[in-house]
Amino acid sequence: MIFKWVVLWSLLIISLEAKKIVVDYVVEFGVIGQVGKVHTLYSDDNAHYIIDTNLSAVGMLAQKMTHHLKERHICKGFISKDGTRVVTRYQMIKSYGKYKSTTIYKVNHQSKKVTKQYIKWEKRDKGKDKKILDYTYTLGYYARSDMVTLFLNLDHYIQHKNKPKHYIFKAVGADREKGRVDVRIPRKKETMMMKSLLGVPKNGEWLMNLVMHRQLYHSKKGELMVRMGKDGIVQKAVLKDILFFGDIRIIKKN
């Protein structure tokens, strides 16, 4: 559960000008310290893009708490004329304990519909896994972005990164009912607290608050504080007020 949505934060990392970028992150949890690691590869050919991210637990305690969780997130789409990324397929592959699952979002931009397929297996000996769930349905909203792609496009959508303002977006994988995502550039009095948690922005970096409107671990709203680099790479992110345990921190490795 600790890592269920951490991978999304680690995906906020890619410069829109890049053709191929590899970024690694350390995931820390409260006073425990490092509990996970994330490895992300982004590539594009000027027409299409792909993001491939792998997440795994680190240390005996984290592995026990997450049942040896491993996740892989694959995001694919095309690059529009204005340079923004548009998602067509987003897949999450998960393995934990005796189970494994995959969730596949497909976006049809002509019909403006998004379908979600979820499949779950129980692991068996000799690779004879038993399928225990398989269903597909159409979401109640349409979006041109998933959570990963949205962050790729923030540099385009938000022109004045130090001017306090409230933005509302839609993204597949966010709020279950409406796909709503709120991004807020903080006011001056809020930046002091954020700087104490994220570090002081420098060389074109900027701060933002993001709310996904769904529970992320014990954070009811899924509110994240982020220090973004000028090149579109997240330097540090914090998921605050995790009940009893403290903050989840995602820190870019040098």
Determine, yes or no, domain membership for 129. yes
pLDDT tier at 88, thresholds 50, 70, 90? very high
Report pLDDT for 216: 58
Determine, yes or no, domain membership for 24. yes
Contacts with 203 (C-beta within 8 Å, 6 or more apart), sequence order: 230
The answer to whether the beta carbons of residues 135 and 118 sit under 8 Å apart is yes
How does the average pLDDT of the chain come out, rounded? 85
pLDDT tier at 77, thresholds 50, 70, 90? very high
3-state secondary structure 129-146: CEEEEEEEEECCCCCCCE
Q: Can you give the residue range of the structural domain that contains 51?
A: 6-252
Of 86-90, 101-105, 119-123, 153-157, where does mean pLDDT reach its minimum? Answer: 153-157
Q: Is 97 helix (H, G, I), strand (E, B) or coil?
A: coil
| Strands annotated E in the chain | 20-29, 33-44, 48-57, 70-79, 85-96, 99-108, 113-122, 130-138, 165-170, 180-185, 206-211, 223-228, 234-242, 246-252
Determine, yes or no, domain membership for 1. no
Altogether, the residues listed in the chain come to a count of: 254
Determine, yes or no, domain membership for 72. yes
Among 37, 60, 59, residue whose Cα is nearest residue 249: 37
Determine, yes or no, domain membership for 215. yes
Q: pTM to 2 decimals? A: 0.84
Of 18-22, 72-76, 104-108, 214-218, where does mean pLDDT reach its minimum? Answer: 214-218
160, burial (CB in 10 Å: exposed 0-12, middle 13-18, buried 19+): exposed
The answer to whether the beta carbons of residues 58 and 24 sit under 8 Å apart is no
The answer to whether the beta carbons of residues 104 and 93 sit under 8 Å apart is no
Structural domain count, the chain: 1
